[in-house]
Amino acid sequence: MRGGTRTKLRWLGLASGGTTLFGGLALAYAHYLEPYWLQENHYRVSLSGKAGAKSAWQGYRVAFLSDLHIAPQEEPLNTLTRAFERTLALRPDLVVLGGDYFSRGQWNPALSRLISPLTHSGLLVVAIMGNHDYFGRRCDPERIIDNLHQLGVKVLRNQALQVYSRGEYRWIVGLDDHHRGEPNLTEATEKLAPGERPLLVVSHNPDYVSELPPNYTELVLSGHTHGGQVNPMLPPFHKRFNWIRYTYSSHRTRYPVGWYTIKGNRLYVSRGLGLSGLRLRFNSRPELTIFEFI
Ligand SMILES: [Fe+2]
């Protein structure tokens, strides 16, 4: 074998060895580290309207926890435990649970152990349904809702709830899941006076945002995408070239992660907390999100 050919083969061997090592390390990181590396995101959301109307809600804080994905008969990831403990410590005015509590739609009592400390301490907790919460048998979604109610959680399935701050009230609107349920904004808002703008609209799937009237609410909260869960694209390309924009599955959406403004409605899409499908997270850390209205 000639010297030049031998050198080329050596370089090829080194390159393939390096790629294998890098791939192995990335896989180990995505499996063993990132799913447990909770990120706490704090955002300030400026209220619209006149100063007088805004003043009661300035400083109102909302914690958003989504996509828990607890497997049947398994303990939840300790990421979830830390996120709920941290929520309890922060004592927000409102806790919003964004759906997909159970990967296969079957109740796991581990969820009671996560939620009970919040409701027992007097925190207001509301919840909506995600697509995975419909994956069980026919009666399982009702069981999930009943159990959440018994824990003291207000489940909003095309319903609205009045929340109060300094003697003023506003509405939290919760919609049923976009794919597996039957979201109905008219039904959800039947208690609202004409022209009343809710403080929050919560929809598991972010796609519903395009069906809201223009300038309708202060904030829309969604999950569902897990930010792609495995997302090799770094910012600023992590949104535009996120695979979830191009998949042919029901997860396809134009709003894979983070902030968007659609027809004057601000939307935040959380990366969620749990894992779906692959037991991996890459460049899409689990998140607990806290919003403070200003
Ligand atoms: Fe999910």
DSSP secondary structure, 107-155, as one string = --THHHHHHHHHHHTT--EEE---GGGGSS-TTHHHHHHHHHHHTT-EE
Task: Map out the domains of the chain as residue ranges.
Answer: 1-36, 38-293
CATH topology classification for 38-293? Purple Acid Phosphatase; chain A, domain 2 (3.60.21)
- Going from the Cα of 205 to the center of ligand 1, the distance in angstroms, rounded, reads 9
Helix H or strand E encompassing 205: none
- Going from the Cα of 32 to the center of ligand 1, the distance in angstroms, rounded, reads 20
Helix H or strand E encompassing 40: strand 39-45
Helix H or strand E encompassing 189: none
Output the six-digit token pair for 8. 């080329």
- Going from the Cα of 246 to the center of ligand 1, the distance in angstroms, rounded, reads 17
- Going from the Cα of 5 to the center of ligand 1, the distance in angstroms, rounded, reads 51
Output the six-digit token pair for 41. 């995101």
* Cα 148 from Cα 146, distance rounded (Å): 5
Residue 196 one-letter amino acid: E
Contact 53, 11 (CB under 8 A): no
In this structure, which long-range contacts are made by residues 4-12, counting pairs with CB atoms below 8 Å and at least 24 apart in sequence? none
* Cα 284 from Cα 257, distance rounded (Å): 9
For residue 106, give every residue at least 6 positions away whose Cβ sits within 8 Å of its Cβ, in sequence order, or none.
72, 136, 140
DSSP code of residue 166: T
- Residues, beta carbon < 5 Å, ion ligand 1: 67, 100
- For CA atoms 181, 184, 187, 192, the dihedral sign is positive
Tally of residues, the chain: 294
Residue 50's pLDDT is what? 77
- For CA atoms 238, 243, 246, 250, the dihedral sign is negative
CA torsion, points 260, 266, 271, 276, in degrees to nearest 10? -100
Across the strands, what pairs with 282? 230
Low-confidence ranges of the chain (pLDDT < 50): none
pTM attached to this predicted model: 0.93
- Going from the Cα of 128 to the center of ligand 1, the distance in angstroms, rounded, reads 12
